[in-house]
Structure 1
Amino acid sequence: MKLGMLTACLPSWSLKRVAGWAAKTGYERFEVAVWPGTGGRDFEAAHIDVARFDGRERERVQGLLRETGLAISALAYYENNLHPDLERRERIRTHLKHAIDAAQALGVPYVGTFIGRDPARSVPENQREAERVLPELVEYAGERDVKLIIENCVMEGWHPDGHPGNIAYSPELWEWMFSLGLYLNWDPSHLMWLGIDPLATIAPYAGRIVHAQAKDIELDLVARNRYGFFGTTAKNGDPWATGWWRYRVPGRGQVDWIRVVDRLYEAGFTGTLSVEHEDPLWGGTPEKVCQGLTIAHHTLRPLVVA
């Protein structure tokens, strides 16, 4: 197992700067954000321009890896592959293929994305649509010796009522997506607020957990008594406002990282445990984000054998 970090939390920094900081801090891998860089969300970082990836860009990235001793665990482009706007869906599909091509050129084994959802359709209806559109992408990746990995993020902000916006949120749905040739980028934080025991989901699906996210969560069960499971309806312009849970860096929430890492080792996991920083207390500026990443490193480094 290797300890890594997702670069999306530092969108204003260059890849060179992120890599230098990560290596100096003691991270071994990094999961590189490859959004087009046109979105408004903080995590839509573009640390490699996969749409214009050529030999010069490949040499630049490989030079950084040689210089820092880091390796890329995966390329990250988490978007809605079932977007109801078919033109936008096609743009997402095209960019995902660019990410796959760049991963092949760099020898990166995984590209991370979401299944997504059309919120106007039921989960079974979205499953049928996914069965129509996703196998072509799985095949495209497989021909290039790349695996598509799906994070089990609920993406509740993509649904107007806070319902799942990414239909990969439960082991029942993982079993279905595995049948399409997809793999899992396992994240315990999302399971926690859904009421699913993260530890119980490791051993049964160990063969498909090829990458893992290290994100913590803080649950306020008293607030849940007021808002209900799906969270507050008073979003005040923030579709991600929940009122009773918030994501934290590892060590500042309620995930039992000692047992999580131990169970991953027991299951034979040899991939990357990648810190995904979405902690509002340790955000807002690059300096605060780096402090949060340092807290995560201090929490996880003693657990992951160097």
Structure 2
Amino acid sequence: MINKIGMRIPSKMGAGGMESIASWASSNGIDVIDVPYYNEEVKAVLEAKGLEVGSIDGVGAVGQTKLLSENEDSRLEAAEALKNQMTEVSGLGGKVMFMCLVPDDITMPRQKAFEIWKETFPSIVKHAEQQNIYIALEGWPGPAPYYPTLGCTPEMLRAMFNVIPSKHFGINYDPSHLVRLGIDHLRALSEFGERVNYCHGKDTEILHDELYECGVIQATFGSKYDFSEGSWRYTIPGQGDVNWGKVAVRLEKIGYTGPISIELEDHRYWGSLEAERQGIIKAKEHLAIYFK
């Protein structure tokens, strides 16, 4: 199976600017860059280094979003901004918009947010179809203790896809979130494989001693690691519980040809530019075993 290896931009690397990121990535075997925004300047920088754009963060659709606001005017304004971005991205050749749908009120029950989503998103997806844009829904469950994100569990994804059957509304397959939630990451891929519009290369290690101490709820006195809530921690691929060999087989079976994009969230490879670069390289080397 051959997939290009990409990366989201970690904080220290991002501070150096897009030209620095592109130069380093091109020199270290990275093929694709996920970007927070996409314009002519970013496109030119990537193309000059032989790189492709991967997913593009949807404006106002990553994190707490007005798209799920109780205020109708706020929702309409946010939806219009997102549609305008889709038109611009499409004109530049972009294909995938990354979204993580967390209500602006994180205490809002998911069922209520889902009802608002049903009113807001059909017109957004219709515009995506017209512009040949594919939405990739992120599975991060959101901040504890509410976990308000829409689309992070099979139960919710099934309900959303029943409302909007279009392939232009799909998922960003990131097994790390499924593992931490106790959801079978391979079964989820088998069930929702045809809706995979993008894929993240990130892993999760279940910390069994910590699981004994606090169970699946957030640690009372703080986690031992960054990118953790107690009984698990995010890691680079190969240092967690994800079976990347089986993931690769299933992605090949469903015909996924997009990149595997490294999302670096691992305390061992964080806090400095050198650590981030080391983490990206180690993640790329492990993913290349299965996808190159």
What range describes the TM-score normalised by the shorter chain of this pair?
0.7 to 0.9
Alignment root-mean-square deviation, CA: 2.6
Could you list the per-position Cα deviations for residues 237-259 of structure 1 after superposition, in whole angstroms to 9, with x for gaps in the alignment? x9975122111111222212122
Deviation (angstroms), 1:33: 2.0
Deviation (angstroms), 1:154: 1.0
Deviation (angstroms), 1:234: 3.6
Q: Give the stretch that moved more between structures: 103-112 or 169-178.
A: 169-178
Task: Kindly indicate whether the alpha-carbon contact (under 8 Å) linking 1:80 and 1:92 is maintained by their aligned counterparts in 2.
Answer: no
Q: Give the stretch that moved more between structures: 136-145 or 17-26.
A: 136-145
Task: Kindly indicate whether the alpha-carbon contact (under 8 Å) linking 2:227 and 2:267 is maintained by their aligned counterparts in 1.
Answer: no
TM-score by length of 1: 0.82
1:14 corresponds to = 17
Deviation (angstroms), 1:84: 4.8
Gapped regions of structure 2 (runs ≥ 5): none
Task: Kindly indicate whether the alpha-carbon contact (under 8 Å) linking 1:29 and 1:70 is maintained by their aligned counterparts in 2.
Answer: yes
2:36 corresponds to = 33
Work out whether 1:174 is the aligned partner of 2:157.
yes
Distance of aligned partners of 1:250 and 1:240 in 2 relative to their CA distance in 1, 3 Å threshold: closer
> Aligned to 2:131, what secondary structure does the other structure show?
coil
Task: Give 1:170's aligned amino acid.
Answer: T
What does 1:1-306 correspond to in 2, within 5 Å? 1-9=3-11, 10-34=13-37, 48=38, 57-58=39-40, 60-77=41-58, 78-81=62-65, 82=67, 84=69, 86=71, 93=79, 96-117=82-103, 118-155=105-142, 157=143, 159=144, 161=145, 163-178=146-161, 179-180=163-164, 181=166, 182-235=169-222, 242-305=229-292
1:42 corresponds to = none
Deviation (angstroms), 1:183: 0.7
Q: Give the stretch that moved more between structures: 93-102 or 216-225.
A: 93-102
Could you list the per-position Cα deviations for residues 71-98 of structure 1 after superposition, in whole angstroms to 9, with x for gaps in the alignment? 1122024223355585876775465345
Distance of aligned partners of 1:240 and 1:280 in 2 relative to their CA distance in 1, 3 Å threshold: closer
> Aligned to 2:106, what secondary structure does the other structure show?
coil
TM-score by length of 2: 0.85
Aligned length, in residue pairs: 278
Find the aligned partners of 2:6 and 2:98 in 1 and give their Cα distance: 15
1:40 corresponds to = none
Task: Kindly indicate whether the alpha-carbon contact (under 8 Å) linking 1:218 and 1:247 is maintained by their aligned counterparts in 2.
Answer: yes
Task: Kindly indicate whether the alpha-carbon contact (under 8 Å) linking 2:227 and 2:233 is maintained by their aligned counterparts in 1.
Answer: no
Find the aligned partners of 1:186 and 1:19 in 2 and give their Cα distance: 24
Find the aligned partners of 1:291 and 1:72 in 2 and give their Cα distance: 22
Task: Kindly indicate whether the alpha-carbon contact (under 8 Å) linking 1:185 and 1:213 is maintained by their aligned counterparts in 2.
Answer: yes
Task: Give 1:153's aligned amino acid.
Answer: W
1:43 corresponds to = none
Could you list the per-position Cα deviations for residues 252-303 of structure 1 after superposition, in whole angstroms to 9, with x for gaps in the alignment? 2221212211221122211121111111110111221111000001111121
Find the aligned partners of 2:51 and 2:8 in 1 and give their Cα distance: 13
Task: Give 1:79's aligned amino acid.
Answer: G
Percent identical pairs in the alignment equals 25
Find the aligned partners of 2:76 and 2:241 in 1 and give their Cα distance: 39
Gapped regions of structure 1 (runs ≥ 5): 35-47, 49-56
Find the aligned partners of 1:167 and 1:70 in 2 and give their Cα distance: 32
Deviation (angstroms), 1:142: 2.5
> Aligned to 1:302, what secondary structure does the other structure show?
helix
Find the aligned partners of 1:62 and 1:206 in 2 and give their Cα distance: 29
